[in-house]
Structure formats: structure tokens, C-alpha cells
Structure 1
Amino acid sequence: MEKAINRQKVLLQHLRPSSSVPVHDSSLSASACLAGDSAAYQRTSVFEDDVVIVAAYRTALCKSKRGGFKDTHPDDLLAPVLKALIEKTDLNPSEVGDIVVGSVLAPGSQRASECRMAAFYAGFPEIVPVRTVNRQCSSGLQAVADVAAAIRAGFYDIGIGAGLESMTANPMTWEGSVNPRAKMFEQAQNCLLPMGITSENVAHRFGVTREQQDQAAVESHRKAAAATASGRFKDEIIPVSTKLVDPKTGEEKSVTISVDDGIRPNASLADLAKLKPVFKKDGSTTAGNASQVSDGAGAVLLMKRSVATKKGLPILGVFRTFAAVGVDPAIMGVGPAVAIPVAVKAAGLELDDIDLFEINEAFASQFVYCRNKLELDPEKVNVNGGAMAIGHPLGATGARSVATLLHEMKRRGKDCRFGVISMCIGTGMGAAAVFERGDAADELCNARKVDNHNLMSKDAL
């Protein structure tokens, strides 16, 4: 930043009295530029203070109640990905300032205890604190954003944002009675709508057809199957050693789970067309064009760039911006269409600058709507499939998406600089975050090429 200010001072000297245009000293002074070193997109922190991701891993995602993790305790899902972060980076676990875990369905105090237990299983000492966060389907991404914000605030230099959900252990149910006052407020009442009904509302209001939804589901399975077959998920998935219990005999079998088990490589439009609507008799949302109910976990290791550099750790990605927005609860699925532009604008970018999008496929209806509303190139969106094929363990999805996005950006190299993760959120919200490929930025030249440089310094060329 000092270099940038010095360059401004030199530039200002050329604009002072010798110029034919009168210049008043009071209006010309060198200062820290919010956009960073003459960047064409906003950088609100000094280069060495960037919040970077040095590792991001997940478990495989498995079908709840009948998949590979049906007999696995939630803390035994989280522990392996936490352990992988410190083992694969050779990080001293005592240096971690906080572990924040996104989770949705379990009772808060119980899940908080399970996450603390998982940290101990993974080898973290007692001095490392743990907490949970719940912003429903964006909880995993919110955990990553919370850690990034804490690092930027100077609370600590190294932190972990994670996500965990066992929809086998904790099904989606409402406990206790509903406040009758909700009947007096339409929006409050809409917060209680089944998610499938909100999907039907989106499809009806915005004209998303059953065929469009089924086609999106087929594409999700096709892409996920291709990614699995080619080994593209191997860098992000941590194998989990666990057990499977035969429900009839009680016999236990030791297994290692390392592949998402909900992907259907042979899914076809003809097969999906046979499925009946689940939420409305004349509706279009089916078990085939909605996200899968899943078990899984993910974890992301973040730190200040200067710390990562000092430790000699490769930088997988840079955390740029995060945004959470509110929308009508009755059509909660539109959340990404609102949140993505906000997050992208906060980064000083435009949608065309984004090379990859990971948009959670809660339902095909809302996924198709958001993709079309933002006029996104389908070739940039969910290139390795999404939740309709891979699964959607609510609290873990955000962390899973970070791992999937950043590893894909790394594979694509220089042709892929910026990526976005987004999802809709129950009760009517949306969240989005912008990431930059780890080796795409440097201290002095962090800008995309622009045609009109005005008075920008030469390092922006």
C-alpha cells in the first residue's frame, strides 16, 4: 500500500502549479486507494492481509438412512476432514484461532458438543475453541465467511470454517408447537411452508416447466458421474473409515467411504418423467428434480496471506466478498438471483468476470430460474454437477461447495480466475461469496485488463 501512495504522490506532482489548469492543494492528496493497487476491481485489504484458503476438503456425500453414512455418528463425519486440514498442511493445530461449524438440524447444544468432540478426535488441543452457526442451507458458507471476517478483524490469523449434517440422525421436523401469532403475518406463516411448496411457487410464478426441471436434473447427474469417473473429486474427498450395520441381522461391516453414492449415471428424461409430484398433485417438483437428503461434512482452512507465505503453504484461493440477502419466504429459492449480484458488485466485478459458479441445486425449479434470471452461461455453472446428483447435507453444503469450486479452479489454471458460490436459504434468504484463484493475484498487478486507464498507474496495464 505504501508503494501505491508513493505513486500517487509522484502523479500529483505532475498536476500541480506547472499545469495550465489551476489545482488546489486541498483537493489533491495521496491516500490509500480502496481499490488496492490500481485494481479494476475493489480490494479493500492490503495484499499481505488477504484472507486465503490453503486447504479445503469434504467427505463423500451419502444418501441419508440408506447410504454409506447411515450408521456413522455426526462427530465421526466431521473429525476426518478436520484432521485432514492439519495433516495435509503440516499445520500445528494449536495455532488455529477458532473452528466454526455450520449445522442446521441437530439441537444447538448437542451439535456444539459433537463438534467439540470431533475436534478432539482430529487432534486439536483443548485451547482451540469451537462454535456452531446456523443460517440454514448456507450455514457452511456462513461459517467460512465468519472465519474470514474474524481474520480480517484481527481476532486471529488462522481459522477453520466447516459444515456438518447427518440427515439420518437429525431429520427435518418441527419440535414443539407453532406460535398462533404466525397466522396474523403472511410472511411469518410462509416461513413454515414446506420447502417443496416454495419450489412449486417458483415454478408456477416464473414459468419453469417440468421438462426444464427434469432436464436440469439429468445434466446434474451426467456432470457428477463424469467428474467421478475422471477422478475430479479425488483431490477434495477425504475417505472415511466407518461401519455399515445390517438392519435385519445387526451384523457390522467395516467400510471406507470415498465416493458420493447418490449419483445416477444413467438418469434420463424418460425415467424422471415417470416420477409423480411430491408436494402438489398437479405440481412439477419430484424426488428426481430436487436435491437429495444427505449426510456429510466439509472443512476449509483459512489464514492471512502473510502467514501462509511465511509457512510456505500453497494458496488454493482468496476469499473476496460475501453477501446474505432476504427475499420473499414463499419463493425462497430465488435467493441466489439476488445475492450473487450483490456479492459480485462488492468485489468490484461484473457477472461476466466470473468464470465458474457453484449454485446449490435445492430444487431444479429455483436453480433453473436463478441461472436464467442472471443470464449465466450454462457452461460455467455447476460444471461437476450439483445437489440433485451429489446431495445436499444442509449445513455442510457451503463447505462442500468451497472445496469443489476451488479445486476445479486450480485444475483450470489461468483460464479461471474468479468463482462464485451461492444458495437459497429456507425462510426466504440467499447467500453468495466470491473467490479468486490462489495464484491469480500478486502484490502489484491484481487487475483485469481495462480499455480506459484514465490516471491509473502502469502496474494496472
Structure 2
Amino acid sequence: MSKQIQDAYIVAALRTPVARRNGAFRYVRPDDMLARVLRDIVATVPNLDQNEIGDVIAGCAMPEAEQGMNVARIALLLAGLADGVPGVTVNRFCASGLQAVADAASRIRLGEADVMIAAGTESMSAMPQIMGNKVSINPEIFAHAENIDIAYGMGLTAERVAAQWKVSREDQDAFAAESHRRACAASAAGLFDAEIVPYVVNSHVPGEGGVVRTAERSVAQDEGPRADSSVEKLARLRPVFAARGSVTAGNSSQMSDGAAAVLLMSEVALKRYNLRPIARFVSYAVAGVSPEVMGIGPIEAIPRALKRAGLALQDMGWVELNEAFAAQALAVMRQLEMDPARVNPLGGAIALGHPLGATGAIRTATLMAAMERDPGLRYGMISMCIGTGMGAAGVFERM
């Protein structure tokens, strides 16, 4: 007998601060970052029976080296969760964290679990290069012209998007400057405080008499936003991917480190623990596009997610559109005629950073915090482009 699809609700969402690559979290392991947010997300429900957790699903775009060995299971054990709690790592590149949320919600909607944790972690400080520790591209990519687009670097795809969608250098720099302005204003106003779990970084420093001592530093804010960013300063940066291009380090997302966790429950579990959810998971969609213009993936994914939700783009009061590059974010916004005021109201990845597989879960925490603050915000969306030519989008409803 088939079961009726049930709703999945988000009860809590927390994240670490996002640090610049080789910044505050330079020597912090990604599994330790993930363990920290897992401990904190479980602690939001003090009487939670951990044996009810159906799975911990963690997104990671480069699940190897320090991020390998099924980082989800390793981290939950490091966090001290019950041995009976399983864990699995998923990889959809930049959308891995959002994919984890969607997969966790699906398990609940199908009646396979009443309590799930979705998460994401990524240390770009630990990964020495974008391809990870060993470059092993399939030789067939270079042997056949029709496959060469798969090997394009992200920056080159952004240059192609800028050219095809006619996004000027001036517009890219203005967009980047605005991302920093919004992020700095939000941070100064404490709008990220509710979603951030301060992380204590331990370091060993020389003391008197040659004795090594341990120094502790609490990191409580994102490192990326720059209060001194301006269009004028950004205009002085040179293109980094094409000699006559327009994509620079200043109008691209920052390489970053961070982690996040999201607690989801069924209505049965909500009643059992007497909880009020923040939001309902409404819909999710992924779509493929040409790898050479991978940044426009949301153009295909967003309409699909909205159709499945029975909603229109105008219904979305808040959109977290990952700013992989200003060029691709502007192309998506213009193609779909998105309201700039509703897109990344607190800034995006250009200012806040983009720890790849963790970003979807991190932006879920930002959207959930916004929904808790604003009773008038009913629907929100998270969307991003994905390497090798994909897009993802998820829709949420405030409860």
C-alpha cells in the first residue's frame, strides 16, 4: 500500500562563520567544522532522541583527503552523536549543501524518517587546488571536441556568460560593490548573529622559556565582507581568466571555509517534541545546461522548482542566489526578470564567501533566520549554478 506524501519542516539551521581561504580556519579541519555545527544543531532540541535521526546527509564538493572517508559519518562521530546515527556524503559540486537539504526532506516526505539532519562542509584552505589533490581528468574530454567544454575553468565559463548575455565590466563591479555594502550593513546590524555559531580556533604559539602554549580565538563573524570595497577600487583589478576579459578576483566569489547544519522533521516529530517549525520545504529542482556557460544553470532550475511548487517568481519575497560570479548572477537575474531588491538582501558569495559544498546549507541558515525575523516573508528560494553545467533551486514557505 502506497503512503501519502507528508510535509518536511525545518526546525533549526546553524552555520559557522565563513572564513577566507587561508584565513581564520586555515588549520581547522573540515570534519571538525562539521562536527561543531552538528553538536549545536542537535542541542537546539534538548530532549531529542538521537536514535530517531534517520540520517545525517552532508554535502561536500571535494570529498577527498581531509574531506574524504565519508566526512558526514566521521563528523557525526566526532560530534558525539549516538553510534546508531548513520551518515552519508553527497556531491553535486556547489549545490551539494542544498542537495543535502532536498534529500533529507525527501526522506521525510516519503515517510522513511521523521527526523533528518542536512549539512555541508568545505575547506578550500585544505584543498590545494580547485581539482583537489590529484588532477585526473578523463582523457576522452580532450580527445573529442564536443567534450572539451567539460574541462573549462569556472572563470572562463563566466567570461562566456558575460559575453553572451552582454554583462559589462562596469555592471559586474557595481554588483560586487553592492554585495559588500549589503553584507557589511547586515553584519553591523547583527542580522547574521542568530544563524552563526562562534567557532573557537586553537593555535600553538611560543611562550616564555621556550614553552609552547595554546592560544584560543573565537571567530564569530564572516571574514569576507570588505567595508572599503568600492566600484573605483574594483575597476582597478585586472581580469584573471582572459586577457581582454571582464571577470576579476573582485567580481567573483571568494574561496572560503565553512560548515552548516539543518534540522528537519515531519509533523509527527514536531508534535512529539512540541516544536514550532521555521519553514516548510516546498519544492526542489535541478537542471542541466551547456558546461561552457554553467553559470546560467538557475535559469533552467528556478522555473522548474516554481512549477513544482505551484508558485510564481513574484511570490518569492527573498531569493538567495549564489554569486559564483557577478556575470552569471546578473545574467540569471536579467533573464528571469528578478527584482534586485529581493535577491541577496544581505549580500552574496562575492562578499560573504563560497565554501563550495557547504554554501547551500549556509544559505539555508540565512534564509531561515530571515524568515524568523520577518513575519511578512512567506516564500523564499535558494538557487545556484553548478560546475559542469547544472543549476539547482529550492523553495521554502515560512510557517
Write the letter of the residue equivalent to 2:356.
L
Q: Does 1:79 align with 2:35?
A: yes
Q: Return the alpha-carbon distance in structure 2 between the equivalents of residues 177 and 313 of structure 1.
A: 48
SS at match of 1:277: coil
Residues 57, 72 of structure 2: 8 Å contact kept: no
The equivalent residue for 2:298 is 336
For structure 1, the residue ranges without an aligned partner over 5 or more in a row are: 1-43, 439-461
Seen in structure 2, the aligned counterparts of structure 1 residues 322 and 186 have a Cα distance that, compared at 3 Å, is: farther
Query: How does 1:44-83 map onto structure 2 within 5 Å?
Result: 49-65=6-22, 67-83=23-39
Match of 2:364 in 1: 402
| Partner in structure 2 of residue 366 of structure 1 | 328
Match of 1:239 in 2: 198
Which has the larger strand fraction? 2
Q: Structure 1 residue 117: deviation in Å?
A: 2.7
Q: What is the SS of the residue equivalent to 1:389?
A: helix
| Amino acid of the structure 2 residue aligned with 1:170 | M
Out of 153, 156, 159, the residue aligned to residue 197 of structure 1 is 156
Greater Rg over alpha carbons, structure: 1
In structure 2, do the counterparts of structure 1 residues 184 and 88 end up closer, same or farther at CA, with 3 Å as the change threshold? Answer: same
SS at match of 2:13: strand
Whether 1:164 and 2:164 are equivalent positions in the alignment is no
Match 2:236 to one of 274, 279, 284: 274
Contact kept, 8 Å, 1:143 with 1:162, in 2: the verdict is yes
Corresponding residue SS for 1:325: strand
Report the counterpart of residue 76 of structure 2 in structure 1.
Answer: 119
- Secondary structure (helix, strand or coil) at the match of 2:94 reads helix
Cα deviations by residue, 1:325-352 (Å, 9 ceiling, x for unpaired): 0001000000111111110111001111
Counterpart selection for 2:178 from 206, 219, 224: 219
| 1:408-448 deviation per Cα after TM superposition (whole angstroms, max 9, x unaligned) | 122111x210111000000000000000002xxxxxxxxxx
Helix, strand or coil for the counterpart of 1:388?
Answer: helix
Contact 1:112 1:131 in 2 (8 A): no
1:88 is matched with which residue: 25, 44, 57? 44
Correspondence for 1:153? 110
Question: What SS class does the counterpart of residue 337 from structure 2 fall into?
Answer: coil
Whether the aligned pair in 2 keeps the contact of 1:195 and 1:426 (CA below 8 Å) is: yes
Query: Contact conserved, 2:159 with 2:247, CA < 8 A, in 1?
Result: yes
Q: SS where residue 435 of structure 1 aligns?
A: strand
2:166 corresponds to 1:207: yes
Deviation of 1:251 (Å): 7.4
Report the more deviating stretch, 295-304 or 404-413. 404-413
Query: What does residue range 342-421 of structure 1 map to in structure 2 within 5 Å?
Result: 342-413=304-375, 415-421=376-382
Q: CA deviation at 1:93?
A: 2.1
Partner Cα distance (2:8, 2:137) in 1 = 42
1:437–1:276 Cα change, 3 Å: same
Give the aligned partner of residue 36 of structure 1.
Answer: none
Deviation at 1:80, TM superposition (A): 1.4
Deviations 1:264-315 (A, max 9, x none): 0121000000100010111111110000000000010011123113311121
Segments of structure 2 that go 5 or more residues without pairing to the other structure are none
When residues 207 and 110 of structure 1 are mapped into structure 2, their CA distance, relative to the original with a 3 A threshold, is closer
Structure 2: how far apart are the matches of 1:365 and 1:251?
47
Tell me how far apart the structure 2 counterparts of residues 325 and 270 of structure 1 sit (CA, whole Å). 37
Q: Structure 1 residue aligned with 2:391, among 430, 454, 458?
A: 430
Deviation sequence 1:178-198 (CA, Å, 0-9, x none): 333223444532111110000
User: Measured at CA, do residues 187 and 165 of structure 1 come closer, stay the same or move farther in structure 2, by a change above 3 Å?
Assistant: farther
Q: 1:176 to 1:406 in 2, by over 3 A?
A: closer
Q: CA deviation at 1:106?
A: 3.3
Amino acid across the alignment from 1:207: K
RMSD between superposed Cα atoms in Å: 1.9
TM-aligned CA distance change 1:230 to 1:177, over 3 Å: closer
Q: How does the TM-score come out when normalised to structure 2?
A: 0.94
Cα distance in 2, alignment partners of residues 251 and 119 from structure 1: 29
Secondary structure of the 2:229 match is coil
Alpha-carbon distance in 2 for matches of 1:45, 1:356? 30
State the shift of 1:253 in Å. Answer: 2.8
Aligned position for 2:255: 293
Letter in 2 for 1:435: F
Structure 1 residues 187, 364: closer, same or farther in 2, change over 3 A? farther
**Residues 108 and 266 of structure 2 are in contact (CA less than 8 Å); yes or no, is this contact kept in structure 1?**
yes
Aligned to 2:131, which of 159, 170, 173?
173
The residue matched to 1:98 in structure 2 has which SS?
A: strand
Poorly superposed stretches of 4+, deviation over 6 Å: none
Match of 1:101 in 2: 58
Question: Cα gap change, 1:187/1:294 in structure 2, threshold over 3 Å: closer, same or farther?
Answer: farther
Is the 8 Å Cα contact of residues 161 and 299 (structure 1) preserved in structure 2? yes
Rounded to whole Å, the distance in 1 between the matches of 2:261 and 2:9 is: 14
Cα distance in 2 between the residues matched to 1:213 and 1:110 = 33
Q: What is the percent sequence identity of the aligned residues? A: 46
Q: Do 1:138 and 1:395's aligned partners in 2 also have CA atoms closer than 8 Å?
A: yes
Alpha-carbon distance in 1 for matches of 2:214, 2:149: 44
